[in-house]
Structure 1
Amino acid sequence: MNGGLAAQHGRLQDRVDSVMLIAMRADVRAIHTVAGDGRADWQTRTFVREARRLTLGCAAGLSAVLDRHRPGTDPYGHEVCRACGTSACSTLKAIADVFAAYAVRPAAVDRAEAWRRADAYLGSRGVPLVIEEFAEGFVARPVPGGNGLLVVDRATGALTRWPDLPTAELVERYRHYLRGAP
């Protein structure tokens, strides 16, 4: 993974959070319906029945490891892993290698997650939000408007603040922003 320790840690935490979110949103009744329909062998039915719980447990365990192996600074101001004391944490590298081998990527953000992130960013102040979807993400407009808006990137979940613009103009500017165009 490219970037410093903080960037690597952030990408790994995003992936773990994504896995946990997917598991939490899974419909337990539907899982048990699929697991109990009798079309699969007993090992597969057992796996399907237990997958959500196992996934949540593994993701929580990885979160605990990432909490321990988070970036900090040494007495000289250099970025180091707080657990290892080194600038190249072998634990983060091992987790990144496993995620790469199994193609674990953050899940795309959906409308509900875009609303949750925008609401959390705004401090959960009870401000009503209108969420508009476009190909690259979501526009979160506080109601009443006038204080700008947020764009939640569909692929990464990253939030960016934008002036209060009509949606078509905002989408065009956001696409320029993604391309790195001035």
Structure 2
Amino acid sequence: MTARELRERTVARVRSTMTTAMRADPHALDALAEHNADGLDAFTLPFLRTARTLMLATSAALSTIITAHRFGRDPYDRMVCLACGTEHCRTVRAISDVLTAYDIRTHPIDRSEAWRRADAWYATTVGHPVLLSIESFDEGFIARPATSPPSVPDRVLIIDRNTGALILWPDYDTATLIGQYHAYKNGTL
């Protein structure tokens, strides 16, 4: 795995962790803490009450670090970590190793999360919500606007199932989109 691929995989794991924490119901966690308050020790109860916020803050902090440690070309046209100036970023490697040690994995995006991400993207890009259809396939989801907004003509989004990444594609038929995306993921496009 290249250093750049390691960074992408690490970004996906951090995003997945953040998404999991965002989707957790804080009221349900509070109810769980209250219902079990008598059976929990003095350290577990406050941890349970703050676990979601702690996970969100930690994921945001890791995202900030990983954003600084992105890859680009140096003055000699080598692909390097722009923060470290090296071809193999020790910071990203260390974060990846910690996530591996604690068995932090990506959690696949489901249909509702794909819709939420596509809806947010179109609302931000177009300036208002857009009616969308979401089609599922093995590697992700295809989000098609019911009518193409003038600022994004004949374009659809593919939401990667494992990373949640959004990629804008021409409005091909479903089979062509799936084939093109598969080739893109395998580096043959």
Q: TM-score range by the shorter chain?
A: 0.7 to 0.9
The whole-number CA distance in structure 1 between the counterparts of 2:175 and 2:101 is 34
Instruction: Please say if 1:57 is aligned against 2:57.
Output: yes
Where does residue 143 of structure 1 map in the other structure?
146
Question: Contact (CA 8 Å) 2:140, 2:158: kept in 1 or not?
Answer: yes
The whole-number CA distance in structure 1 between the counterparts of 2:138 and 2:72 is 37
The whole-number CA distance in structure 1 between the counterparts of 2:102 and 2:40 is 24
Deviations 1:123-176 (A, max 9, x none): 5313321223455532312112692533323223244536453xxxx3697379
Where does residue 77 of structure 1 map in the other structure?
77
State the TM-score, normalizing by the size of structure 2.
0.75
Q: Structure 1 pair 155/70, CA: closer, same or farther in 2 (3 Å)?
A: closer
Deviations 1:79-117 (A, max 9, x none): 122222211111111111111222212221123321243
User: Cα offset for 1:120?
Assistant: 5.2
The whole-number CA distance in structure 2 between the counterparts of 1:73 and 1:177 is 26
Report which structure shows greater RCO (CA 8 Å, sep ≥6).
2
Q: Structure 1 pair 30/88, CA: closer, same or farther in 2 (3 Å)?
A: same
Q: Structure 1 pair 142/176, CA: closer, same or farther in 2 (3 Å)?
A: closer
5+ residue gaps, structure 2, are none
Figure out how many residues of one structure are paired with residues of the other and give that number. 176
RMSD value, Cα: 3.0
Q: Structure 1 pair 40/136, CA: closer, same or farther in 2 (3 Å)?
A: farther
User: Cα offset for 1:14?
Assistant: 2.1
Task: Give the secondary structure class of the aligned counterpart of 2:35.
Answer: coil
Identity of aligned residues (%): 41
Question: Contact (CA 8 Å) 2:111, 2:136: kept in 1 or not?
Answer: yes
State the TM-score, normalizing by the size of structure 1.
0.77
5+ residue gaps, structure 1, are none
Q: Structure 1 pair 82/178, CA: closer, same or farther in 2 (3 Å)?
A: closer
User: Cα offset for 1:17?
Assistant: 1.9
